[in-house]
């Protein structure tokens, strides 16, 4: 979240930022409440100070009447101080709700627009869009012909949006995971597998809403736990309440996790098949940096995403994400959108965001500089290395052949044991 003092001192900029992001937050109400909180807090502290002074004078009283009067005065002062403290607590609750709804500020170069239609294409990948001399199928049709995914069985077991990967698709998933993890290992990321559950305060700290009508989170009833929507959540939580030495920064983590999302309201051909599902695996990058290093780290994470998809020889474009399409914690975000022949358009496959100190303030993740007093808030960044379901989609559709088979990207051959997926009657 933003610093309270910053909000008050930059009220118009914060209000306009909310407008640009399409977030309806009463920033003026926040200012009124914060001023009221400060005044009542000051009054309560003053009453407590006076009560302490009165208490010190009780022993000095010369008569019992004077002593009793001082006791009564002190009692009244503490009572009123307690009432004010309770009023501050009520104000604090409303303040906190508004505070958490205020998004991060936005990089001045991010395009302004209400949704992803305003995203700005800034570059293309090394691989050109393929030219097919036949009508390409989408991945759902390919999966059916090649017996790679069973959506119907997934729906019988867990409901719509779940699926079974089968046969070569299983090996492709494992190959994509190994390909990404090995590349990040060579870049000195700390490799992790993460918990599938996280406490709700960790979700809230990373900017995810575990409750409410608009949540995309599956929560566990009668607990303070929820299923994670991305490894960003547990990776960010690793340093919750922790102070690290500046000399150890940056800290780069790679997390392999399952991801669970309700995907409420998702529908349409663009969401068909694997593109928008309730469960998938993902390799996620996460970094903690010094404030002055976060912008360059964002560029580095974006480069890693491009290297991964250039290696897979998947056509893609990079877009600078518009204000209305940014998540609350993101200061700036870049997406990779892979070409998807089945829909004849690009679709998002990765994103990388600089969240500055927005998440760190919620998580109380800090660093110290040797020889200096006090601590400072870290900057946090995240980036998708590979979301397996969408990676599979992009491979299946871009590597399909006229005979109905699917070639395997060369970089995955060391992990698959086969170079082509053929229709079963050809094997």
Q: CA-to-CA distance for 354 and 388, rounded, in angstroms?
A: 22
Average pLDDT estimate for 267-283: 86
Please indicate whether residue 338 or residue 74 has the higher confidence score (pLDDT). 338
Has residue 60 got a pLDDT over 90? no
45 included as an active-site residue: no
261 included as an active-site residue: yes
15, 21, 199, 276: which is the annotated catalytic residue?
276
80 included as an active-site residue: no
Contact 11/27 with Cβ under 8 angstroms?
yes
Q: What is the pLDDT of residue 269?
A: 60
Q: Cis peptide leading into 171, omega within 30 of 0?
A: no
Instruction: Encode pLDDT of 337-381 as tens digits.
Output: 999 999 999 999 999 999 999 999 999 999 999 999 999 999 999
21, 199, 261, 302: which is the annotated catalytic residue?
261
* Encoded tokens for 54: 């009165």
Number of H helices, E strands in the chain: 13, 17
Q: State percent of the chain over pLDDT 90.
A: 84
- Backbone phi and psi for residue 322, each to the nearest 5 degrees, phi listed first: -70, 160
Q: Are strands 420-421 and 406-407 parallel, antiparallel or unpaired?
A: antiparallel
Average pLDDT estimate for 241-267: 91
226, 240, 294, 351: which is the annotated catalytic residue?
351
Instruction: Encode pLDDT of 129-152 as tens digits.
Output: 999 999 999 999 999 999 999 999
Q: What is the pLDDT of residue 267?
A: 58
Has residue 265 got a pLDDT over 70? no
124 included as an active-site residue: no
The band of 62, judged by pLDDT with boundaries at 50, 70 and 90, is confident
15, 21, 302, 390: which is the annotated catalytic residue?
390
34, 173, 348, 397: which is the annotated catalytic residue?
348
Report the predicted TM-score, pTM, of the whole model to 2 decimal places. Answer: 0.92
276 included as an active-site residue: yes
> Mean pLDDT score of the chain, rounded to an integer?
93
Q: CA-to-CA distance for 161 and 179, rounded, in angstroms?
A: 26
Has residue 287 got a pLDDT over 80? yes
Give the dihedral sign, CA 184/188/194/200.
negative
Give the dihedral sign, CA 158/161/164/170.
negative
């Amino acid at each position: 979240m933003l610093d309270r003092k910053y909000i008050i001192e930059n009220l118009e900029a914060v209000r306009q930022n909310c407008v640009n992001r399409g977030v309806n937050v009463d920033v003026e109400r926040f200012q009124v409440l914060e001023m009221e909180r400060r005044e009542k807090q000051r009054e309560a502290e003053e009453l407590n100070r006076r009560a302490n002074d009165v208490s010190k004078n009780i022993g000095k009283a010369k008569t019992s009447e004077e002593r009793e009067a001082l006791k009564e005065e002190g009692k009244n002062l503490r009572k009123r101080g307690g009432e004010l403290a309770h009023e501050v607590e009520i104000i604090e609750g409303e303040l906190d709700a508004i505070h958490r709804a205020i998004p991060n500020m936005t990089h001045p170069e991010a395009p302004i627009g209400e949704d992803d239609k305003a995203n700005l294409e800034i570059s293309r990948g090394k691989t050109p869009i393929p030219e097919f001399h036949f009508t390409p199928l989408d991945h759902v049709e390919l999966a059916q012909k090649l017996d790679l995914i069973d959506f119907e069985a997934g729906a019988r077991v867990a409901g719509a949006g779940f699926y079974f990967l089968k046969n070569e698709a299983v090996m492709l998933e494992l190959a994509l995971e190994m390909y990404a993890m090995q590349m990040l290992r060579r870049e000195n990321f700390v490799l992790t597998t993460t918990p599938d559950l996280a406490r709700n305060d960790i979700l809230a700290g990373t900017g995810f809403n575990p409750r409410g009508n608009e949540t995309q989170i599956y929560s566990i009833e009668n607990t303070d736990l929820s299923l994670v929507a991305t490894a960003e959540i547990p990776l960010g939580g690793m340093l919750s309440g922790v102070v690290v030495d500046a000399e150890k920064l940056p800290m780069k983590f790679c997390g392999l996790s399952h991801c669970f999302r309700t995907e409420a309201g998702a529908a349409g051909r663009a969401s068909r098949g694997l593109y928008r599902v309730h469960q998938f695996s993902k390799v996620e990058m996460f970094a903690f940096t010094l404030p002055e290093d976060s912008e360059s780290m964002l560029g580095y994470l974006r480069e890693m995403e491009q290297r991964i998809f250039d290696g897979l020889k998947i056509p893609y474009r990079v877009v600078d994400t518009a204000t209305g399409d940014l998540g609350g914690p993101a200061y700036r975000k870049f997406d990779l959108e892979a070409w998807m022949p089945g829909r004849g358009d690009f679709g998002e496959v990765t994103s990388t965001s600089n969240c500055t100190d927005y998440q760190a303030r919620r998580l109380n993740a800090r660093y110290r500089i040797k020889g200096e007093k006090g601590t400072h808030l870290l900057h946090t960044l995240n980036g998708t290395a590979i979301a397996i379901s969408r990676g599979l989609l992009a491979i299946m559709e871009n590597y399909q052949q006229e005979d109905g088979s699917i070639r395997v990207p060369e970089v995955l051959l060391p992990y698959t044991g086969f170079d082509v997926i053929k229709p079963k009657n050809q094997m």
